Amino acid sequence: MPTTLTVNRRVVEVEAAPDTPLLYVLMNDLELQGPRFGCGLAQCGSCSVLVDGVETRSCVTPLERVAGKSITTLEGLSAWYAQQKKLATAPDLHPLQQAVIDEQAIQCGYCYNGLIVKGAELLSQNAQPTDQQIRTAMNGHLCRCGTYPRMMKAIQRAARTMAGGAA
Amino acid sequence: MSEPTTPGAFPRRDFLKAGGALMVGFAIGVPVAAQQPAAGLPGAPDPNRLDTWVAIHSDNTATIFIGFVELGQGNSTALLQIAAEELDLEMSQVKTERVETGKTPNQGGTVASASISRGGPQIRLAAAEARQALLGLASVRLGVPPERLMVSRGVVSVVGEASTSVTYGALIGDRRFDVTYTGEAPLKDYRSYTVVGTSVPRHDIPAKARGTYVYMHHVRVPGMLHGRIVRPRGQGAYADGLRVVSVDPSSIDGIRGARVVRRRDFIGVVATDEWGAVRAAQQLKVVWDTPASLPATPAALFERMRSSPTIDRVAHDVGDTTAAFPTAAHVVARRYDAPYQAHAPFGPNCAIADVKGESAVVMCSSQNVYLSRTKLADVLQMPEQQITVQYYEGAGAFGHAPYNDAAQAAAVMSQEVAAPVRVQFMRWDEIGWDNYGPAHTSDVKIATDANGKFVAYEYHGWQHTWSQTDTTAQLAAGRPPTESATEGTRAQLVSTFNAGDMHVLPNWRIVNHRVPGMKGFLKGQSLRSPLDIAISFGSEQVVDELAYLANMDPYLFRRQNINGDRWLAVLTAVAEAAKWAPRRAGANVSSARVVTGRGIALGTHLASYGAAVAEIEVDTQTGVIVAKRMYGAIEAGQIVNPGIVESQITGMLIQAASRVLKEEVTFSPTGVTSVDWVSYPILRFAEAPEVTAVIVRRQDQPSTGAGEEAVAAGAAAIANAFFDATGVRLQEFPMTPARVLAALKKEGRA
Ligand code: FES
Ligand code: FES
């Protein structure tokens, strides 16, 4: 029995076993590149996606649990943002993605799926987070390359961009 | 959905686009410049031909063939800057190619921050030589001597007659130079540089932020099976290997499409879908013979290293330390212990292999594709020329993570099942079967005269031999653990540069005590700043103690003993950045529950200069140390891209805090017990200090690598800050709450 879910605003039917972690479905069946394997243990945030707008660890989320739900991955973040902000057209990138580029925050970048998805969730709930709020919100997302200080700056920059009304 | 993009052009790619992921075919097409094999290395492009290094295209762009892989630190952008500078091209006109055996030159491994220091000059000379060849062609075409020509953006024109011009592309586009790479072309004066020395944005970052960058983990090939290795969670002693007592294939009967792959003591599973492979690997019943031969505790590890027979080598012996110590006013002698630490890349290693009867293609995140190929040839029992190894970036690993193990595991499984196999290490495979950064124990003894001037320095370091045999080779091919053939590379060694070079030392002795044989120890290999962090943690704390005994500020004390301008420059730069106000360390120790302190330290790896300041907070009731602010300064000769180096310093300071405060491979006699992010914790977002990165520029000096020094300096600065805060010293790291509380208690501070 296929499972129906919405991924990046597209309705898809997936044949995988219902206990398959969503991560493997996104990577292999839907061939997305945002969510990626890091630990499979809900410890690192590498696999994070938004499920109905809430950051979720897809590596420990069985497919059956997201049936009928709306999933947003890194690839769909700017469209999700445009919908939230009621913009007529989606910007090329979510402001946080742009800020990450502007700050040259990334090193290897493998953790940046999770950092960007989590940061975008934070900014959707709190348009002007303080340093402390950023640290608390982001604390479940690891970065082996030690880019935390630059990601902090990127979130602050994105908050400024979003407040300025620009994309 | 957007199209997959990676930097550079990959003409042999066979895209089967679906969604956004990448399908790569194994068909190997014609490279941009057909390259010739070298005499010595099977299939390696001849380094003495210019076409091996540079190709100019009709559209007036260039491909630079680089033998160094992008490890996520920006080195490929920096190397392209060097090429663009020397060729008088803009950054938009240069690109590079995927690193692959037989295609890209063999520049050795991407190790020890060598990309820019070792690879930079090769690329620079090749680009200069290409420019010279192009000027020669332009001179003939335009009928003027080369001295009257100038180049801008790849357009050669006659000085004073801008309209008389020809492009590089028109001169040679997509044809071969067919000239010898002499390495003797004249180079630009560094003072005229316009690209080198500027913060060009990294070419890989936009795709990484967008989610379109192709990591190893994204590659899929047609007909591929998903594989997982099956081993106990956490390796035992390296020399023991691992023996299978029994396997019960029926234990995975219920998993559709899954089966066991076994060769000798190597066990894996393959399945048609990834979740099937994951489940099969977890469910498969295997009985292992796991000897209990590791030390029982970390403390026992250090005792084992010290009590084992060692091969002792005096690395340095200047003056007479034995005679000098008794004459000194102050002598401090301490022992320090440093744990095994894991590479623990954020994404565990992944590899794909397609082994056919006569040939094999292996994709992996190797730092050295040529060496990986040699090792694969042994495991597969196949001639090297028949194996192609392609590099795909993985997560940042900062050294010799088990990428060869993953590549060999995929290759063995593919050979067994006669289909392409993708092996993704699970988190516990990666941390539990890593080649750990070396454990180290040391005796450090330093003395000063009554004026606080160093009179003698003696360092004794113990470390055991590194591993050369990967676990899959050990298990599947029965290869015994071997030591490197040359004494100097059998283990990471203490050298004059990382132990003592920063000070003026009239009497100076360094002795390495190498424990051979690898019996009862873990598998080890280089991890960012191998040994340096342990050396600085010890040496810089003894220096601090001597400053205290001399009743001096630790910064001023280091200044008065500093060895040369380059060390002085980084020390001064970091002190200025931190607004260091001189006072004796420990002067503000109080009985408050939360106390603060600051520390300063020097550190290095092989050739560059590092200094750091740390400001910390210690909760004397919980034992928790928080690094609040860190400053790091580096001098690494010519800086190609300051933005990238600043990013590196930031990362190094965060890793310094992580490694000195939290990271430690734990084990029981039968095996490693730190196998995930809970049992092997690293620094988290909320624990990250604010950082300030300072670059001391020496554009007139050769580049010496900027990826390691601030780790050693930063870790030692935290150790010194702990003393400043508490008046107590820790002689072992990581400085965990348990160790902090024990030390405070011993000194009556808690
Ligand atoms: S992969 Fe899901 S949290 Fe690590
Ligand atoms: S940038 Fe490498 S893990 Fe975060």
If one residue of B346, B349, B655 were mutated to test the ligand 2 pocket, choosing by the most ligand atoms within 8 A of its CB, it would be B346
% of chain B surpassing 90 pLDDT: 78
The span from the CA of B274 to the CA of B226, in Å, is 5
A13 and A67 part of one domain: yes
Burial zone of B417 (CB within 10 Å; 0-12 exposed, 13-18 middle, 19+ buried): middle
% of chain A surpassing 70 pLDDT: 98
A71 and A95 part of one domain: no
The span from the CA of B533 to the CA of B333, in Å, is 19
Q: Which of A42, A75, A108 is the last residue of a domain?
A: A75
Question: What integer is the mean pLDDT of B321-331?
Answer: 98
3-state secondary structure at position B692? strand
Going from the C-alpha of B344 to that of each of A143, B129, B390, B394, the distances in angstroms are 11, 41, 22, 12
The span from the CA of B424 to the CA of B392, in Å, is 14
So what's the pLDDT on residue B158? 96
**Domain enclosing residue B545, as ranges:** 299-340+437-746
Nearest to A150 by CA among B613, B575, B709, B688: B688
Specify if A85 maps to a domain.
yes
What digits encode the pLDDT tens for the residues B384-424? 999 999 999 999 999 899 999 999 999 999 999 999 999 99
**Beta pairing partners, B618:** B595, B625
Question: What integer is the mean pLDDT of B425-452?
Answer: 97
Question: What integer is the mean pLDDT of B714-736?
Answer: 98
A83 and A60 part of one domain: no
So what's the pLDDT on residue B24? 38
Q: Which of A75, A96, A127 is the last residue of a domain?
A: A75
Output the domain CATH number for residue A70.
3.10.20.30
Tokens at B121, concatenated: 């000059």
How does residue B109 score in pLDDT terms, banded at 50, 70 and 90?
low
A21 and A41 part of one domain: yes
Specify if B360 maps to a domain.
yes
So what's the pLDDT on residue B113? 56
Going from the C-alpha of B132 to that of each of B51, B126, B180, B181, B182, the distances in angstroms are 14, 10, 12, 11, 12
B244 and B333 part of one domain: no
Residue A74 is given by DSSP the state G
B330 and B222 part of one domain: no
With CB atoms and an 8 Å threshold, state whether A39 touches B209. no
Specify if A144 maps to a domain.
yes
Output the domain CATH number for residue B587.
3.30.365.10
Residue nearest atom 3 of ligand 1, based on CA coordinates = A42
A65 and A114 part of one domain: no
- B209: Cβ contacts below 8 Å, ≥ 6 apart: A93, A97, A98, A100, A101, A106, A109, A112, A116
Q: Which of B210, B227, B243 is the last residue of a domain?
A: B210
What's the structural domain count of chain A?
Answer: 2
With CB atoms and an 8 Å threshold, state whether A28 touches B204. no
B410 and B464 part of one domain: no
- Any idea which residue has 């921050």 for tokens? B113
Tokens at B660, concatenated: 């000195």
Specify if A57 maps to a domain.
yes
How does residue B43 score in pLDDT terms, banded at 50, 70 and 90?
low
Give the closest of A28, A31, A38 to B274, CB-based. A28
Specify if B19 maps to a domain.
no
Specify if B26 maps to a domain.
no
Ligand 1 cavity residues, CB under 6 Å:
A 37-40, 42-47, 57, 59
pLDDT surpassing 70 at residue B266: yes
**What is chain B's mean pLDDT, rounded?**
90
Report the range of poorest mean pLDDT among A128-132, B594-598, B709-713.
Answer: B709-713
What digits encode the pLDDT tens for the residues A64-112? 999 999 999 999 999 999 999 999 999 999 999 999 999 999 999 999 9
B649 and B547 part of one domain: yes
Output the domain CATH number for residue A116.
1.10.150.120
What digits encode the pLDDT tens for the residues B460-517? 999 998 888 999 999 999 999 887 777 667 777 888 888 999 999 999 999 999 998 7
> Is A109 touching ligand 2 by the criterion CB < 6 Å?
yes
**Contact by Cβ (8 Å): B426, B370:** no
pLDDT surpassing 80 at residue B252: yes
B206 and B313 part of one domain: no
**Contact by Cβ (8 Å): B706, B115:** no
Specify if A167 maps to a domain.
no
**Domain enclosing residue A36, as ranges:** 3-75
How does residue B75 score in pLDDT terms, banded at 50, 70 and 90?
confident
Q: How far is CA B261 from the centre of its chain?
A: 32
- Any idea which residue has 């024109």 for tokens? B157
Question: What integer is the mean pLDDT of B87-106?
Answer: 89
A111 and A126 part of one domain: yes
B489 and B390 part of one domain: no
Specify if B71 maps to a domain.
yes
A158 and A97 part of one domain: yes
Tokens at B270, concatenated: 């393959």
Q: Which of A37, A60, A75 is the last residue of a domain?
A: A75
ipTM above 0.95, yes or no: yes
Specify if B655 maps to a domain.
yes
User: Alpha-carbon Rg of chain A, whole angstroms?
Assistant: 15
Tokens at B548, concatenated: 């205290």
How does residue B605 score in pLDDT terms, banded at 50, 70 and 90?
confident
Nearest to B123 by CA among B79, B90, B178, B87: B79
pLDDT surpassing 60 at residue A43: yes
**Beta pairing partners, B351:** B423
A61 and A96 part of one domain: no
pLDDT surpassing 50 at residue A129: yes
Strands B259-263 and A54-57, sheet pairing: unpaired
Residue A110 CA to ligand 2 center (angstroms) comes to 5
So what's the pLDDT on residue B112? 54
% of chain B surpassing 70 pLDDT: 93
With CB atoms and an 8 Å threshold, state whether B213 touches A27. no
The span from the CA of B609 to the CA of B706, in Å, is 9
A71 and A15 part of one domain: yes
